[in-house]
Amino acid sequence: MYGSNAHNIYAQNNVGIESPSKLVEMMYEGVLRFNAQAKKAIKDGDIEKRVYWLNRSTAIITELIAILDMKQGNVSEYLAGLYNYEIHLLASAGMDKNTASLDEVSNVFKGLLEAWRETTNVAN
């Protein structure tokens, strides 16, 4: 459904992307930004914005699943499961107006972002 929408959005907005690892970092940051906006919309009772921001986060996570290299084994399989669970939590946050689920997703992506930055800085 979302396909490569997240990639296209970032590619259009950031023509000078240096590397695929930078793109993943930006996608993690996007999830955090969009979740913050969704949380504000939930608190404000703004249904339209809540749905909009949750859909944006979901689109990015869907793209993260699509770009996983499943030939890499256990790590890719783990991330696929984790990302799918995070999508489930976002859906729950949207239906139940549950900011705790949204916070859980944000905490996971903060950890992923930190780990990603550590591993890509070591690799570069």
pTM over 0.75, yes/no:
yes
Name the band, by pLDDT with cuts 50, 70 and 90, for residue 110. very high
Q: Please give the mean pLDDT across all residues of the chain.
A: 89
* Pairwise CA distance, residues 97 & 41, whole Å: 9
Q: Which CATH class is domain 5-123?
A: mainly alpha
| DSSP code at position 27 | H
Q: What is the per-residue pLDDT for 1?
A: 42
Could you read off the pLDDT of 12-41 as tens digits, one per residue?
Answer: 555 555 688 899 999 999 999 999 999 999
CA separation (Å) from 44 to 14, 41, 55, 92, 96? 31, 5, 17, 18, 14
Q: What is the per-residue pLDDT for 20?
A: 87
Residue spans of the domains in the chain: they are 5-123
Could you read off the pLDDT of 71-101 as tens digits, one per residue?
Answer: 988 999 999 999 999 999 999 999 999 999 9
Least confident segment among 4-8, 59-63, 104-108: 4-8
Averaged pLDDT, 59-68: 96
* Pairwise CA distance, residues 62 & 27, whole Å: 11
Name the band, by pLDDT with cuts 50, 70 and 90, for residue 2. very low
HEC string for the chain = CCCCHHHHHHHHHCCCCCCHHHHHHHHHHHHHHHHHHHHHHHHHCCHHHHHHHHHHHHHHHHHHHHCCCHHHCHHHHHHHHHHHHHHHHHHHHHHHCCHHHHHHHHHHHHHHHHHHHHHHHHHC
